[in-house]
Chain A
Amino acid sequence: MDTGALLFQKILSQIFVGLSRTTILFIVSSGMSLILGVLRIPNIAHGSLYMIGAFMAFSVSNFFGGGSQGFWMALLLAPIGVAILSLITERGIFQFLYKREHLMLLLLTFALSLIFGDLVKLVWGAEYKSVPVPQVFHGHLTLVAGIPIPLYNLFLLLVGPVVAILLWLFVNKTKMGKISRAAAVDRDMVGAVGINVSRVFAAVFVVGCLLAGLGGVLVAPTVNVTLGMDHTLIMEAFLIVIMGGLGNIWGALIGALIFGLAQSLGILIWPQFGIIFPYAAVVIVLMIKPTGLLKSTW
């Protein structure tokens, strides 16, 4: 049996690694929640955009020689690439369908996720791709009990709050953000006062998808970039969004924290069945608060 101090150190290290996973989950699911809240689109293709972000990161990183510079350029350019793709999708398809019912939008985004999946195969091929961890973040820090924390995970811990602050500024301090919040509450009223709702929707959709792309770039150095990486994520992102309260981006933050930490601490408690803890957490949260932790915009 572990002594108290050792157990405490183990818990601390699991919290650290769990938080870095939370960062990616938060970035992706906040984008999804934003789109869900303002545009009322349950976007299944959000995971595909995350995957495309990762594949674009691979291409950009390779274009710039595959080293550290490649990664930073990918971090800058790949989300923009995803944003452009999402703008085309929004202007080309979604803007004509906002009045349709949710089921139809759900089916449409599902169709899009399949199309994007095949497009990725056409453009990048079926082979596994890998984006190297930038030189600065090679190696790991040993914080407690000889348990290593990769430097890249620490970097993710810094990125998370930065994205959260930027998102807060966008939603609360910009005119666009304020309009989008108003549109989330009453779309017709916003239109009635003479605001071009369509353009606001386009902007919000692009920001949401940009976050998916950013998540894809950030996850790329830690995983195998491959077809199908969208499926695993979309499930988790939906759970987080539902747990946090539909359309509430701060709900997504809390949801991601609960999901990520339940996973990393669950492994410590019961390694064979660590897999069930995040899902059990979702069940418990929804039993106590069926509408999600924070106020849903739906």
Chain B
Amino acid sequence: MKKNFLVIFGLVFLVSGLFMPAASYSAKTLKIGLVDTYTGPATAFTLDVLDGFKLVVDKLNAQGGVLGRKIIYETRDEKFKPDIGLAMAKELVLKENVDVLMGTINSATALAVSDFAKKEKVPFFVTFSKSEKIILEKGHRYVFMMNEHTQMAGRAAAVALAKKPYTKYWIAGDDYEYGHAIANGVWKHLQKLNPKVQLVNETWWKVGEADLTPYITQILAAKPDFAIVATGGSGMVNFQKAAKATGFNQKVPFYQHTAIELSTLAPQKKNAPEGVFGTANYLFYYPNSPENQAFVAEFQKVYNRYPKVGALYGYLTAKFIVEGFKKAGSVDKEKFINALEGMALDSPVGKLAIRACDHQLELPMYFGVTTTDPKYDFLVAKDIQVIPASQYMPSCEEVKSLRK
């Protein structure tokens, strides 16, 4: 008897589950599907994207939503696996009927989802993947890039480094696509901007390598003028720690993309090496504008921490989605895309536009060098140089020829 009851209860539970999504369609909503890595080391970045996104959406829903619709969002954990990510994007579009897709930090997933979004004609906003292929070779009408890609990071660094007197360079980094792409990006454009530079040698270590000291001693022995260190994620801190322990930063100046970013410097507190050159799309203390201060204050109030670069990506993606639908005046996806092309919005880092020709968000890049500041218990960037998007984005013609 008891068993029967349990079976019936179970069935009722299952059936009611099946009808749940149907119930949510009946109310007027705007649905956004987020596919991203929510387990494992990448969460150090992805949770900020989600929190920045929620900041806009929750506030907007409290004010009544957009076009009279409440925004609802579904998150899916792709576990840093492209096959899972693609399956989840399909589920979100085909079963949950999301109007817009966004994510992910995994470039392979982003490429797979982007391809699917193109077939299904669903707008897809990339929020942390760094592969340039997403928006260059494989770019299309339905994909939007809300962060810089490896080629942009490389070009931005080259613009700043070309003005420095160094000529003998060493390249080192994490041996995976991101590492090589960043290094190539810097080197290719640095050679163009300063033909005098020469490459002494290269060193590559496996991703996650725990002790980088033997690699550093080898670079020191070769005495280059400057080192381009193409590390990503956890490798950023691993290299900085080894650089500090060996005094490498005092002997050979070096550059890492995101070296000045909060995610790299905050965990090391005051023990991070000084004098490291880096680039970042966002610094919570720069520019010291009312817009940035307001964003930081709002983020801090809700989450009780400083926003990192991901928070800006998530925040801006939500803003553009909302304003895009407002301007389109309907939830029609094609009208929405037309509305977004060339749209410019005020942001914590100044007025930003989505370039019409390739759907790349025109973010400024900050180039600076690490230093201590009595105001914070971690290192920050000084001598900050703003590199506007126009100086480091591939031109529309370049994008056009690559997309052929």
Contact = CB atoms under 8 A, between A and B. Distances in A.
A158 interface: no
A118 B38 CA distance: 11
A267 B175 CA distance: 14
Contact of B204 (A126, A140, A272): A272
B203 A20 contact: no
Interface in B149-208: 175, 201-208
A121 B204 contact: no
Interface size class of A (residues with CB under 8 A): 35 or more
Contacts of B40: 117, 227-228
Interface stretch (B215-223, B276-284, B285-293, B321-329): B215-223
Nearest to A139: B247
B214 interface: yes
B218 A153 contact: no
Contacts, number: 150
B211 A20 contact: yes
Interface in A1-34: 10, 13-14, 17-18, 20-21, 24
A135 B307 CA distance: 31
Interface of B: 39-41, 43-44, 47, 175, 201-211, 213-215, 217-218, 220-221, 234-238, 241-242, 245-248, 263-264, 266-269, 271
Contacts of A127: 44, 263, 266-267
Contacts of A222: 210-211, 213, 238, 241-242, 245
Contacts of B205: 274-275
A81 B202 CA distance: 42
A13 B217 contact: yes
B320 to A, nearest CB: 26
Contacts of B210: 21, 24, 219, 222-223, 229, 232-233
Given A128-B263, A133-B271, 9 more contacts: A20-B211, A21-B211, A128-B264, A130-B268, A150-B246, A228-B234, A264-B214, A272-B201, A274-B205
B47 to A, nearest CB: 6
A264 B217 CA distance: 10
A17 B245 contact: no
A133 B44 contact: no
**Residue with the greatest number of chain A CB neighbours at <10 A, chosen from B201, B205, B234:** B234
B43 to A, nearest CB: 3
A264 B209 CA distance: 12
Contact of A129 (B204, B208, B217, B267): B267
A221 B213 CA distance: 13
22 contacts: A10-B218, A10-B221, A21-B211, A126-B47, A128-B44, A128-B237, A132-B268, A133-B271, A222-B213, A223-B237, A225-B267, A227-B40, A227-B44, A228-B208, A231-B208, A232-B209, A263-B214, A267-B215, A271-B201, A271-B203, A272-B203, A275-B204
